[in-house]
Every structure is written in structure tokens, then in C-alpha cells.
């Protein structure tokens, strides 16, 4: 009888999920707080919408650019460290071989047990460098298009998140009435987003949802209260 092939399923979209989390969380929270704050000082929804859209445009560009630069920095760091490792493998092979032995010793593998693998890696310099990059430095090779993908994902997530609290202001003229609908839809969105984020990241989904709702609520309440305090 043929044994079924075992397939392990692991979540591998960590970087993309991180980008969505960064963009969506700020997109939901910042425009929500801005809209609430403006509602504390004005009545017309149109002004809230204009200011909110301007903030979403500026915020998505800034967040996307930040994600792009961060990813570029990671790629440059990886490239520089790889060049350094290639030089060390070529010029100091004995030292690098000892480092491999130390890495395996950290996992409980004795030097005599890892000696065969050490000798095998010496015959394949690039594989040796790959090993050192991953297990000595803890660095994974970034995707070639990672920077652009990160920027687009963060910016798009920010826009989607930001439009949710603004939607009621687009449909209701009175800002104070729109505020209550904005609070309702945004809290639901924050809760759903926090729950989904928790499921993807391995955290407790319900706790993640409550934390996300709490952060958004505090930010909006602070902005609203400050606007009411300083408005004539």
C-alpha cells in the first residue's frame, strides 16, 4: 500500500501581511481620528471629507515611500553582508569553518558529527555563503521586487482603510450625525481587521481585535476632545 505523501502547510506571506497591517491599521486610525477631531469643531461634512481625502492622499504616499525605503535598505544591507561573507569565506576559510561548527554546537550537534557537513560546504562556496547568511546572520535574501511591492501594498491598504471612516461623511451632510455612523462602521472595521490580523499572525484573534478597537477609539476620542477644547 502506497504511503500518502506528507505535505506541511506553513504560512509564507509574512511580509505581505505585515505591509497590509501597517497600511490598514494607520489608514483606519489616522483619518478616523482626523474626521472625529474636525467634527468637534465644524458642522459641514464636506469640509471633513476634503480634509480627510487630503490626509489619505498624503498619508498613503508617505507610508508607501517609507515602506519602499525600508525594503530598499533591507536589500542593500543583505547585499553588503553577502559581499563581506564571500570575502571571509575566500580569505578566512578556517575561521568560517569554525563558525559553522559553533552554529551546530548551539543545536547540540558535536563537532565530530558536523565535520562531514562542514567539509561538504567547503566544496560549494556559494552554498557556504548562503548557509552563513541564514544561520550566522539571520538574513534571508529579499525578493527583487520587494521594495515596489511593499510600497504599493502599504499605500493601497492605507487608502482602503482611510475611506471607511470617511464614507458616512460622503453620504450625510451633517458632520455630527455622520460622526456616529463613522464611529459604528470604523469600530466594526477595526474589530474585523484586528481579528483577521490575529489569525494571520498567530496571535489571539479576539485579543487582537479588542486591542485594535481600543487603539482606534482612544485616538479618535483624543482628537475629538482636543478639537472641542480649542474650538471657539
Q: What pLDDT shows up at residue 57?
A: 92
Angstrom distance (rounded) from CA 176 to CA 3: 65
The verdict on residue 131 lying in a domain is: no
The pTM score is: 0.72
The verdict on residue 27 lying in a domain is: yes
Digit-coded pLDDT (tens) for 73-111: 888 888 888 888 888 878 887 888 888 888 888 777 787
Digit-coded pLDDT (tens) for 109-120: 787 777 887 788
Q: What pLDDT shows up at residue 7?
A: 44
Digit-coded pLDDT (tens) for 156-203: 999 998 899 899 999 988 888 888 898 888 888 888 877 877 777 666
Q: Is residue 9 scored above 70 in pLDDT?
A: no
Q: Facing residues of 174 across strands?
A: 44
Angstrom distance (rounded) from CA 214 to CA 205: 14
The verdict on residue 208 lying in a domain is: yes
Q: Is residue 55 scored above 80 in pLDDT?
A: yes
If one counts the domains in the chain, the total is 1
The verdict on residue 151 lying in a domain is: no
Cell numbers at residue 186, please?
Answer: 470604523
What number of H helices and E strands is found in the chain? 8, 0
Q: Is residue 62 scored above 80 in pLDDT?
A: yes
The verdict on residue 150 lying in a domain is: no
Q: Which stretch of 9-13, 37-41, 59-63, 122-126 has the lowest confidence by average pLDDT?
A: 9-13
Between 228 and 158, where is the model more confident?
A: 158
Q: Is residue 1 scored above 80 in pLDDT?
A: no
Q: Which stretch of 4-8, 31-35, 223-227 has the lowest confidence by average pLDDT?
A: 4-8
Q: What pLDDT shows up at residue 61?
A: 92
Q: What pLDDT shows up at residue 217?
A: 76
Q: What pLDDT shows up at residue 11?
A: 44
Q: What pLDDT shows up at residue 156?
A: 92
The verdict on residue 198 lying in a domain is: yes
Q: What pLDDT shows up at residue 201?
A: 64
Q: Is residue 8 scored above 60 in pLDDT?
A: no
The verdict on residue 199 lying in a domain is: yes
Half-sphere exposure of 117 toward its Cβ, with a 13 Å CA cutoff? Answer: 17
The SS3 call for residue 29 is helix
The verdict on residue 80 lying in a domain is: no
- How far does CA 175 lie from the centroid of its chain? 33
Q: Give residue 171's domain range.
A: 14-57+158-230
Amino acid at each position: 500500500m502506497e504511503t500518502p505523501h506528507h505535505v506541511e502547510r506553513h504560512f509564507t506571506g509574512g511580509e505581505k501581511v505585515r505591509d497590509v497591517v501597517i497600511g490598514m491599521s494607520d489608514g483606519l486610525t489616522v483619518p478616523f481620528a482626523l474626521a472625529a477631531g474636525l467634527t468637534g469643531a465644524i458642522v459641514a461634512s464636506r469640509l471633513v471629507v476634503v480634509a480627510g481625502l487630503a490626509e489619505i492622499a498624503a498619508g498613503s504616499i508617505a507610508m508607501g515611500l517609507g515602506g519602499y525605503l525600508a525594503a530598499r535598505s533591507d536589500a542593500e544591507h543583505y547585499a553588503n553582508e553577502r559581499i563581506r561573507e564571500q570575502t571571509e569565506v575566500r580569505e578566512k576559510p578556517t575561521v568560517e569553518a569554525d563558525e559553522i561548527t559553533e552554529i551546530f554546537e548551539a543545536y547540540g550537534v558535536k563537532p565530530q558529527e558536523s565535520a562531514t557537513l562542514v567539509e561538504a560546504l567547503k566544496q560549494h562556496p556559494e552554498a557556504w555563503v548562503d548557509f552563513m547568511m541564514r544561520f550566522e546572520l539571520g538574513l534571508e535574501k529579499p525578493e527583487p521586487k520587494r521594495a515596489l511591492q511593499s510600497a504599493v501594498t502599504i499605500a493601497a491598504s492605507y487608502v482602503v482603510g482611510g475611506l471607511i471612516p470617511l464614507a458616512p461623511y460622503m453620504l450625510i451632510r451633517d458632520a455630527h450625525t455622520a460622526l456616529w455612523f463613522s464611529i459604528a462602521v470604523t469600530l466594526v472595521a477595526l474589530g474585523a481587521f484586528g481579528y483577521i490580523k490575529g489569525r494571520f499572525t498567530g496571535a489571539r484573534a479576539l485579543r487582537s481585535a479588542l486591542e485594535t478597537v481600543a487603539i482606534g477609539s482612544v485616538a479618535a476620542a483624543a482628537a475629538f476632545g482636543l478639537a472641542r477644547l480649542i474650538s471657539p
